[in-house]
Every structure is written in C-alpha cells, then in structure tokens.
Structure 1
C-alpha cells in the first residue's frame, strides 16, 4: 500500500469529499476521518481547521490522505484529484 497526505486550503470540506465521489468512491464514514473507498484506492479527510493570516483574512485548511495499491495508482489518483481542486483566478 502506498499513502500520501496533502493539505488543501480555501476549499470547502464537503466539496473535497464530493471530488472523491466524482472519481468513483463511496462515502464509508460520516465523521472525521471521513473515509471514501473505491475499488483500487481510498481517501480520507483527516482534519479541518481555520488558519488566520490576519484578524480578518482566514481560510480553512483540510488534511487529506490518499491510499492506493501502488505508486502509479497513487500518482494517478492525486493527479485526478488535483485537477478537480484547480481554481483559475481572473
């Protein structure tokens, strides 16, 4: 089993869970750690916290764990997940 933890900031926790579902996983638990399982991989939303850069500017920080059978599957999962979290500024 291969595993990697990443942090995502400024994206709603529910949206991050929805991205796992869009990639083919099913929600298994509905409390922390939120666990999503697919046939070849799984993902977990481990924690969420608010980070304050100033007294006014605050963003959320979500810790996510990706788990796959091998390194290639893990890299493909993370690539596809990051594609869903891409935000284009304007």
Structure 2
C-alpha cells in the first residue's frame, strides 16, 4: 500500500473521524491510532496535539496517515477527504 501523512489544524478530531465514515470507512479501533478501513483504502488518525501561538490563541493539530492500494486511489481519497475539510471564511 502507498501511504501519505497529512496534518489538519483547527478541525475537531471527531469531525475528522466522521468524514472517514461518510467516505465509507469502518472504524476498527477505539483508541489512538484510530484506524478506518474502506474499499481499497485505510486511514489512521495518529495523534492530536494543541498548538499554542500565543497565550490565548490555540488550535488543535491532527496527524492522519492515508493509505491506498494505488497512487490513483490515494489521490482520490485525499481529494475527497480534503473536500470535506474545506472551510470557507466569511
């Protein structure tokens, strides 16, 4: 399998997990690393940390490893997942 790790900031870990379920993934574990298995792909929520930029400005940072059977499937998985994590300012 081909893998790639990405970091997502400012999005709740539970929401990030929910997006894998929306993409057809099934949760296989109940603690870190949270592993999701889909058709031809897998994903692991590896860690969640809090980044402190100032005393009052803090955001979470979640590391996720995406894996798929081919480069094309991996690119599709990441593209579809990033679509779900897109936030539009206003």
Q: TM-score, normalised by structure 2?
A: 0.99
Taking the TM superposition and a 5 Å limit, the aligned residue runs for 1:34-73 are 34-73=34-73
- Offset, 1:58: 0.1
Runs of 4+ in structure 1 displaced over 2 angstroms?
A: none
Q: TM-score, normalised by structure 1?
A: 0.99
Query: What runs of 5+ residues in structure 1 fail to find an aligned partner?
Result: none
Structure 2 Cα separation of the partners of residues 39 and 81 of structure 1: 15
- Could you tell me which residue of structure 2 aligns to residue 85 of structure 1? 85
Q: What's the Cα RMSD here?
A: 0.4
Partner SS state of residue 56, structure 2:
coil
Structure 2 Cα separation of the partners of residues 17 and 45 of structure 1: 8
Give the aligned length. 90
Query: What runs of 5+ residues in structure 2 fail to find an aligned partner?
Result: none
